[in-house]
A and B are shown apart, each in its own frame.
Chain A
Amino acid sequence: MSIPRRTRALSGILALACAAGTASARAETAAESEVRARSRGVAAAEERLDVDAVMPFWAEDAVVHFAGAAPLVGRDSIRKMYADAFPKLKSFRGETTDVHVSSSGDMAWETGRTFSTRAQPPGAPASSGKYLLVWRKDADGVWRIAACAATANPNP
């Protein structure tokens, strides 16, 4: 219980990563490759705890659900969430579990896990979470996150 619930939830939300190591037996479509590339991009930005680098991956009207709070709606709210959370973290890493793109090629979901450690107190234990994302290909042809939900995972 050394990790406050809100921070754990925030850590989960930050979980957009996309690990290259996600195995898949089926062939990857071009659209899926695009989504995975975007996911790796946001994951890298989150791993650097870089708010400015993270924000372009979010849609203007994106929504975030996390534990113990009303949904965050819109980029400004999401930016504030990152700005509040990043300074409290020592490390953050996301890992994609699965990605699937719609038959129309302009919507996708992603599931994954997150691993984070708080900056304080020294030696704080790591915590993990799980996330569910909705990606949307906007009118400019760029994939952005339209919705995100995150919850805690069992402690190791």
Chain B
Amino acid sequence: MKRAGTAAVLTFALGVVVFAATPDGDDQAAGIRRACDAYVSAWRANDRSAVMATLTEDAVLLPAHGRPAVSGRAAIERMWWPSDAPPSTVDAFRATIVEASAQGDLGFARGEFDLSFTYAGSKTEQHGTYLMILRRGPNGVWRISHRMWDDRIAQ
């Protein structure tokens, strides 16, 4: 059961991403798109440190399929990379940003994603929608503070 659970959790984790161009040249929205791109690129590279760097310290994941919220970067990292389970690897990750908007130090992005990953030799695919909240830090860098996702096709 652990294997299935770990795979599912990773699946949820990858639900997002970015980059469908938005029509305006707004710097804020561009910053959000960059943050989303960093998140996707990090997962595509299976780069744990890079993934975690895209999240705020107090980030909250709001997973699908009846799973509880996970709060804080440390808890999220333990969920995605449990110390007693083998790693999963992302094989393909495609996502679009349908909408990205920001005001002040707060913004959001939403869109759809298609994800494929392998865990212990078994491949899993997910197709879903996501909504993310992002926060701009004092250094001007946008990071993900909340992410909720679910299937876009009934399971």
Size of the B side of the interface (Cβ < 8 Å), in residues, is 34
| Given A5-B155, A107-B103: A151 in contact with B108 (beta carbons within 8 A) | no
Q: What are the residues of chain B within 8 A of A155 when measuring CB–CB?
A: 66
Among A9, A65, A111, contact of B146 (Cβ-Cβ < 8 Å): A111
A152 within 8 A of B: yes
Least Cβ–Cβ distance between B36 and chain A, in angstroms: 15
Q: What are the residues of chain B within 8 A of A71 when measuring CB–CB?
A: 98, 110, 129, 152
Least Cβ–Cβ distance between A90 and chain B, in angstroms: 21
Nearest to B129 among chain A residues (CB) is: A65
Measured between alpha carbons, how far is A132 from B144 in the docked complex, in Å?
14
Nearest to B145 among chain A residues (CB) is: A109
Measured between alpha carbons, how far is A149 from B15 in the docked complex, in Å?
13
| Given A102-B103, A154-B67: A111 in contact with B62 (beta carbons within 8 A) | yes
Q: Cβ of B110 and Cβ of A151 under 8 Å apart?
A: no
Q: Cβ of B103 and Cβ of A104 under 8 Å apart?
A: yes
Measured between alpha carbons, how far is A150 from B155 in the docked complex, in Å?
16
Q: What are the residues of chain A within 8 A of B40 when measuring CB–CB?
A: none
Least Cβ–Cβ distance between B152 and chain A, in angstroms: 6
Measured between alpha carbons, how far is A151 from B153 in the docked complex, in Å?
14
Q: Per-position contact with A for B86-103: 1 when CB-CB < 8 Å, else 0? A: 000000000000110111
Q: Cβ of A68 and Cβ of B99 under 8 Å apart?
A: no
Residue of B60, B106, B154, B155 with most chain A CB atoms under a 10 A cut-off: B106
- For the complex of A and B, the 3 pairs showing the least CB-CB separation, nearest first, are A104-B104, A68-B154, A102-B106
Q: Cβ of B150 and Cβ of A151 under 8 Å apart?
A: yes
A126 within 8 A of B: no
Q: Cβ of A67 and Cβ of B150 under 8 Å apart?
A: yes
Measured between alpha carbons, how far is A65 from B102 in the docked complex, in Å?
19
Measured between alpha carbons, how far is A103 from B60 in the docked complex, in Å?
20
Measured between alpha carbons, how far is A116 from B105 in the docked complex, in Å?
34
A106 within 8 A of B: yes
B10 within 8 A of A: no
B115 within 8 A of A: no
Q: What are the residues of chain B within 8 A of A146 when measuring CB–CB?
A: 101, 108
B148 within 8 A of A: yes
Least Cβ–Cβ distance between B109 and chain A, in angstroms: 10
Measured between alpha carbons, how far is A111 from B65 in the docked complex, in Å?
17
Q: Cβ of B106 and Cβ of A67 under 8 Å apart?
A: no
